Amino acid sequence: MKSVIICDMEGVIQEINKGALELFGYNKDELIGKKRVSIFSPGEIVIQNVLGWLEKANKEGKSLIKTNFIKKDGSQFNAEILITPNFANGKDQEQTGYCGITKEIKEEVNIPINFTTKIFKGIAITRGGFTLASILPMVIVAVLLNQMNSLSIINAIISIIGIISVHVFGNLYNDYFDVKSGTDEVNNEYFNVGDKSLILRGAQISGGSRAIELGLITLKKTKNLGNIMLLIASLCIIFLSINIYLEAKSFKNILGIIVIGFLGSFLAYFYTAKPLRLSARKGLGEIVIFLTFGPLLTLGSLFAMSNTPLDIAFYTLKDFILIGIPLGLLTTNILFINQFPDYQSDKKSDKINLVVLFGKKFSRWIYLLNLMLIFFSTFYFIKEIHRFVPQFNNNIFYIIFSIIFLYGLYIFSGLFKYYDSRKLINYNIQTIYYQIIFCIGLILTFYI
């Protein structure tokens, strides 16, 4: 008997025959509506080949492939699979998923993994693409310091490397603790971009990286890699401290980066680690994200990148705290909208974030509130901008940010309509784009 598996457009298994259960070694209850067909393939093959196979099936009506598959016990075997588009409601209706008919074969199958795939594997394991949420605010601070003739280029580069390392450290330990606690295991509703975005193609945008589930890395290696990232971040702080002293002769700048660096690492670790597990404590997780990607990040960047001594006083630091507010809220909204598909699994694992606390329907308004606060705080900051950028053009700013604001309302309208639907993924993607566009728009206003 051949193996027959039918999945939906996201790969979630909908139907499976006896032949497939015998071939892969699972029970039906383990798979239907819970697991995705990606668990049957080596992770590198999933990253490199699967989307291409599906695109071929959509274009030509079928895709016949010889590949390697994995059984439940971890053993691999060679197989031939015929993939066809599935139209459960009739071919005149919208496609509902795919059908895969598999048979084991004796011939040797070797799918070469190219270098690009290994790079994407690293990005998938570390969720490296999301480090833009850290990098872009630092670029904005660097632009402001450059306008003030106070930017240290060397320190800017080293501090960005350090923050990327801390961010990846947090990502890896979040995965480690979510897998260890079983949070990821019960999450079957997570979003994967698939082919819905050229830029984010195949990216995991909720429910963790799933890298351990796909066999891209083990639980132990995830922890070890996290420790390496923390070590790199620590070395960056040491180098920055030395160079800050040489350039700025300021112990206050050094104290600033040490305190903020320690606090950022502490919050990144205990975001999911017990006993604090801040992400599960009724909104504390959202506050942590706001602070670490907002005011703490902009203040830390100021201390690290400035080549002049700074006073640790509110008047000196006020403007960099102010610009941190909208930047932190932008990242908070990315986290926040990604909590909608994870609602059921977060609730089961007692991860009481704001969406679990208030429910999906009410939580839509929190997203809008954050959106409004992003713009009010940005306009408040702009009132002070002429001290940094004498040639700042208010009219250009109002034009650019009126368009960006309307874009934000468009995303909110999608959340409002599809908050309890798989169609929401398009607006999760747009929220990520929104942060990038906002930051680029702000940088452009400093120069146009």
Q: What is the pLDDT of residue 225?
A: 97
| Structure-model confidence comparison of residues 448 and 215, the more confident one | 215
Confidence of residue 389 (pLDDT cuts 50, 70, 90): confident
User: What proportions of the chain, in percent to the nearest 5, are helix, strand and coil?
Assistant: 60, 10, 30
Q: Each residue of 332-359: pLDDT tens digit? A: 999 999 999 999 999 988 999 999 999 9
Residue 390 has pLDDT above 90, yes or no: no
Beta-carbon contacts of residue 246 (< 8 Å; ≥ 6 apart): none
CA–CA distance, 267 with 289 (Å, rounded to integer): 9
Confidence of residue 187 (pLDDT cuts 50, 70, 90): confident
Residue 316 has pLDDT above 80, yes or no: no
Question: Quick check: do 3-104 and 118-445 share a fold?
Answer: no
CA–CA distance, 83 with 11 (Å, rounded to integer): 12
Which tokens belong to 193?
């971009």
| Fold category of 3-104 in CATH | Beta-Lactamase (3.30.450)
Q: What is the pLDDT of residue 208?
A: 87
Contact 7, 37 (CB under 8 A): yes
Any idea where the domains of the chain sit in the sequence?
3-104, 118-445
Q: What is the pLDDT of residue 99?
A: 97
Q: Each residue of 58-91: pLDDT tens digit? A: 999 999 999 999 999 999 999 999 999 999 998 8
Residues making up the chain, counted from first to last: 448
Q: Which of 102-106, 109-113, 309-313 has the lowest mean pLDDT?
A: 309-313
Q: What is the pLDDT of residue 200?
A: 83
Region 300-320: mean pLDDT is: 89
Tokens 């940005």 sit at which residue? 378
Q: What is the pLDDT of residue 303?
A: 96
Q: What is the pLDDT of residue 145?
A: 93
Architecture of domain 118-445 in this structure:
Orthogonal Bundle (1.10)
CA–CA distance, 206 with 346 (Å, rounded to integer): 11
Beta-carbon contacts of residue 60 (< 8 Å; ≥ 6 apart): none
Reply yes or no: is the peptide bond before residue 275 cis, omega within 30 of 0: yes
CA–CA distance, 389 with 224 (Å, rounded to integer): 44
Region 135-154: mean pLDDT is: 94
Q: What is the pLDDT of residue 311?
A: 81
Q: What is the pLDDT of residue 127?
A: 93
CA–CA distance, 196 with 173 (Å, rounded to integer): 28
To the nearest whole percent, how much of the chain has pLDDT over 90? 82
Long-range contacts of 198-202 (CB under 8 A, 24+ apart): 199/433, 200/129, 200/429, 200/432, 201/51, 202/47, 202/51, 202/120, 202/124
Q: Each residue of 256-276: pLDDT tens digit? A: 999 999 999 999 999 999 999
What is the chain's mean pLDDT, rounded? 93
Region 281-298: mean pLDDT is: 96
Q: What is the pLDDT of residue 245?
A: 94
Question: Kindly report the CA angle at 427 between 421 and 432, in degrees rounded to 5?
Answer: 140
Q: Each residue of 399-437: pLDDT tens digit? A: 999 999 999 999 999 999 999 999 999 999 999 999 999
Region 358-373: mean pLDDT is: 97
String of DSSP letters for 35-60:
-BGGGGS-HHHIIIIIHHHHHHHHHH
